[in-house]
Structure 1
Amino acid sequence: MTAQSAIKAPLNIDAIRAEFPILQREINGYPLRYLDNAASAQKPEFVIESIAGVYRASYANVHRGLHTLANETTEEFEKSREDVRRFLNAPRSEEIVFTRGSTEAINLVAHSFGQLLQQGDEIIISQMEHHSNIVPWRLLADSKGLNLRWAPVTDSGELDYPQLADMVNERTRLIAISHMSNVTGTINDAARIVEIARSRSVPVLLDGSQSAVHLPVDVQALDCDFFVFTGHKLYGPSGIGALYAKGDWLDRLPPYMGGGEMIADVYEDRVTFADVPHKFEAGTPAIADAIGLGAAIRWLERHDRMAVLEHERALMDRAMAGLAEIDGLRVVGTAQDKGAIISFTLDGAHPHDVAQILDKYGVAVRAGHHCAQPLMRRMGVSSTARASFAIYNTIEEADAFVDALKKARDFLI
C-alpha cells in the first residue's frame, strides 16, 4: 500500500487552516479568502520551518562534501528525491530529476529529446496547453524544422480524442498534453491518450502542474514516459519542481545544461557525464527548496487524497450553484468531473475589473489569459477571471466569493 492509498483520518479543515499563517491575514478589513491556488498555493508552517531549518542548522552544498554539514544536507536533499519518487509511485529515484519547476522540466525534455528529431518530424500538443507546454515546442519546431500540431478542444473544454487519434501518424514523435487544465479544470483521460500514442509507439509527456496537486498520481499506472510538476502549486516553495522520465529515457537523452555536478570527468578534449539523474542537474541546485518540496509532499500525504478531491469539488459545486444565479455570467469550461477551477466572464465587465473589486472584499482571484492564449481564442474570449480551490478553502469562502461577485456585478453593470 502506498502512502497515498493508506487510510487516513477525515479532513479537519479548521486544523488545516491553522497550519497556514497567511490565512490569518485580513485584506481591506475582510478575512483573506484566497482563491488563486491554480497560480500558486500558500505554504503550511511545516514547509516554512523545513526550509528555515536548513539555513539555521545544516546548510552546505550537496554531494561530494566530506564534512558533517555537507553530509547532512545531502542526505536531506536525496530524501526529498525519494519523497518525489514515492509521491509519483515511480519505480526508481534515479528516474527523478529536480528542476526549477514544470517550465524547466518541459524545456529539458524539449531540448534533450529534440536533439533526437529530424526535419519533418511531428510533435502533438493541444489547444488547452499552458504556454510552458507550447513555447518550448514552438522554439524546437522552428529550430529543427518540425511540425507542431494542435489537438482540438471541444466547446465544453474537453480534449477531442477522436481527432487526436486521427492526427497520430508515422512522423509523430511525441505527444505532450496537460493532465489537468489550469484554465478550465478539465482532467484529461491520460490512459486514453497513452493508448492512442502506443498504437504508434509514440512517447507521452503529461504536464502535471495542476493534477499533481488535486489528483492521486501514479506514473506507473498512467504509463506515461515523462511527467512534470512544480512545487509552488503543491504547498511547497517556488523555484523547484521535478521531471519523471520512465525507464532508460534519461540514459538515452543528452544532457540539458553543462557545468558542475553533472560530470564524471572533464579533460581538455572530452567530458564524461555523471550517472542519472545528476547528469541533468548542472550547477548548485535549489537545495533548501528541494528539501522544502519533500516537506510539502510529506505534509500532503498526511491527508487522504480522495477526501481532498471530494472537498475541493464540493467547494466548486457550491460556488457553481451560486454563479448560476448571476445574470450575464458565463463559465468557460464545463467538462464532466473537472477539477476545482472556475474560469468565467461577466457581460459588460472586464475580468481585471472584476478581480480588483473582489479584492476589495478580501477575495483573491486571478484575471487574464492565464498563460493559455490559444485556449482563450478557442473559447471565444480574450481573458477570464478564475477562482481555484485548495485543501484549506471553506464553504464560507465559496459563498463569500459568490456574494462579492454579485456586488461587483451591481457596481460594474
Structure 2
Amino acid sequence: MSDLAATGTAPALDVESIRAQFPILERQVHGKPLVYFDTAASAQRPRAVIDAVSRFYETQNANIHRGVHLLSQEATDAYESARTRVAKFINAPSRDELVFTRGTTESINLVAQAFLRPRLQPGDEIVVSEMEHHSNIVPWQMLCEQVGATLKVIPFNDAGELDLDAMDELLGPRVKLLAVVHVSNALGTVNPVAEICARAKAKGIPVLLDGAQAVPHQAVDVQALGCDFYCFSAHKMYGPTGVGALWAPMATLKAMAPYQGGGEMILKVSFDGTEYAAPPNKFEAGTPNIAGAVGFGAAVDWLDGLGMDRVAAYEAALLAAGTERLQSVPGLNIVGTARAKAGVISFTLDGVHPHDIGTIIDHYGVAIRTGHHCAMPAIARFGLPATARASLAVYNTVAEFDVLVEALHGVREMFG
C-alpha cells in the first residue's frame, strides 16, 4: 500500500500497484533507478494509455467522420467517445462544448483569435497574472500588438499568492478578458479561481482559465468554477502529447468565428461561400490527432479509476512530506510558499546554479526541471534567473524524495 496514510475520507492509494503500471519506471538512468520528478513538464504514461494508442493503430486506424467503411466508423466512434469522456471528466454540460486542440497553448490561441480579436478595440485591456506560463502571456501580447490594446498584470506577493485587491482595481470598464492560471507550474500556487471568476463576472468580464496543471491533480468542475473558457493538455495528465482541449459554453462557441479553415470544419463549400459545421467540429480543421484523442480518453478513464479525491489527498500528503525533507538540505530555499499549493516545489541552493543541480543529480537517476519553466516573469519576480523544480505525481513516493535529498547533499558537498 501507499507509504502515506489516507487523508480525510479518501482511502490510501496502492502506489506500488500504480507504479507497476508505468513501464518507464522500470528503467535505470546512469545505472540508478529512475526517479521522475518532472511531471509538470510532462507526465509519464500508464500501460492503459500506451495500450489504447497501440490498439487503435493496430486494429482501427482510419480517418474519421466521412468514411462509410467499418474502420472509419470505428475510428469515428473511438474519437467521439473520447470527447464524451473528457467532457464528463471536467463536468462539461455537453460533450459538444469540448473542442479537441493540440494542447493548452493552441486552446489559448484559439480563444485569442476566434473569440477576443473580433471584440477588441484600440485602448481596450486584457488582464493576466504575474505568474502565468508564457502560453498565457504571449498570445495576448500578440493580440494587443495587432489591435492596439493593452496588457495589464496582477501582481503576487512573496509567498506566490495573487493580490486580489490589486486585481479588482485592474478590472475596469475597458477590460475585455481576464486570463489566469488555475495552478502555477513554476510556484505550485493553487489560485482561488472560483472567487476570481465571480469577481470578474460581477463586472461582466469573461474569464479564461489555464488548467494544464490543475486537471491531473484535483477534481475540476467547470460549471462550479464559473469560467468562460477552460484549457488543458493530455500530456500533463498521463495522456499523449500533441492533444488537449478547450471547453466553452455552446452559446459562446456558436458566436465565435472559426480559428482555421479546411476539411472537417465545414458543411458545404462552393466558390460562392462556405457554410461551417456546428461546434465543436467548426474548430477542428483538418485530420485531427485521432490516436492522441483515443489516448486522452484512456487517460481520463485511468484517473477516474483512481478517484480524483484520492489522487489529491495522496499528492497533498506527499507534497508535505517532500517539502519537509527538502528543507533539511543546508542552503536550500523554496520559491513559492503559498498556503494553497499543488505538487510543485521550486527551489534554489546557495552558491549552485540550478542547471548544475539538475546535471549532477541526473547521475543519481533523478530527473527534475531547471530553468525559468516558461514562466520568466514569475521567476524574475524573485530576482532569480532560474530555479530547480521537483514536480510530483501519483506515482511518486516519499522514498524517492529521500533519493532526491541524498542527491542534493551530494551537490552540496561538491560545491562546499
Same fold (TM > 0.5): yes
Deviation at 1:405, TM superposition (A): 0.9
Aligned to 1:61: 63
Aligned to 2:324: 321
Deviation at 1:311, TM superposition (A): 1.4
TM-score, normalization: structure 2?
A: 0.96
Pairing of 1:178-327 with structure 2 (within 5 A): 178-327=181-330
Q: Is the 1:9–1:304 contact (alpha carbons within 8 Å) kept by the matching residues of 2? A: no
Q: Deviations over 1:215-238 (max 9, x none)?
A: 100000001000000000100000
Deviation at 1:319, TM superposition (A): 1.9
2:106 alignment partner, one of 97, 104, 109: 104
How many angstroms apart in 2 are the aligned matches of 1:369 and 1:256?
A: 30
What amino acid maps onto 1:26 in structure 2? Q
What amino acid maps onto 1:330 in structure 2? N
- Over 2 Å off, 4+ runs: 7-10
RMSD: 1.1
Structure 1 residue 125 corresponds to structure 2 residue 125: no
How many angstroms apart in 1 are the aligned matches of 2:231 and 2:283?
A: 14
Deviation at 1:8, TM superposition (A): 8.3
Q: Deviations over 1:327-383 (max 9, x none)?
A: 221110000120010000111111000001111101100000000011111121110
What amino acid maps onto 1:348 in structure 2? G
SS in 2 for 1:393: coil
What amino acid maps onto 2:74 in structure 1? E
Q: Deviations over 1:379-404 (max 9, x none)?
A: 21110000011000111001111111
Q: Percent identical across equivalent pairs? A: 49
How many angstroms apart in 1 are the aligned matches of 2:47 and 2:209?
A: 30
How many angstroms apart in 2 are the aligned matches of 1:206 and 1:84?
A: 17
Report how many aligned residue pairs link the two structures.
407
Q: Is the 2:191–2:340 contact (alpha carbons within 8 Å) kept by the matching residues of 1? A: no
How many angstroms apart in 2 are the aligned matches of 1:407 and 1:196?
A: 48
Query: CA 1:85–1:385 in 2, change beyond 3 Å: closer, same or farther?
Result: same
Q: Is the 1:8–1:302 contact (alpha carbons within 8 Å) kept by the matching residues of 2? A: no
Unaligned segments of structure 2, at least 5 residues: 1-8
Q: Deviations over 1:38-83 (max 9, x none)?
A: 0000000110010001110011000021010000000010000001
Deviation at 1:295, TM superposition (A): 0.3
What amino acid maps onto 1:369 in structure 2? H
SS in 2 for 1:386: strand
How many angstroms apart in 2 are the aligned matches of 1:342 and 1:61?
A: 42
How many angstroms apart in 1 are the aligned matches of 2:11 and 2:82?
A: 24
Aligned to 1:349: 352
What amino acid maps onto 1:327 in structure 2? P
Structure 1 residue 334 corresponds to structure 2 residue 331: no
Q: Is the 1:10–1:304 contact (alpha carbons within 8 Å) kept by the matching residues of 2? A: no
Q: Deviations over 1:100-157 (max 9, x none)?
A: 0000000000111222211111110010000000110000000000111001111111
Deviation at 1:9, TM superposition (A): 6.5
Deviation at 1:247, TM superposition (A): 3.6
Aligned to 1:34: 36
Structure 1 residue 177 corresponds to structure 2 residue 142: no
What amino acid maps onto 1:215 in structure 2? Q
TM-score, normalization: structure 1?
A: 0.97
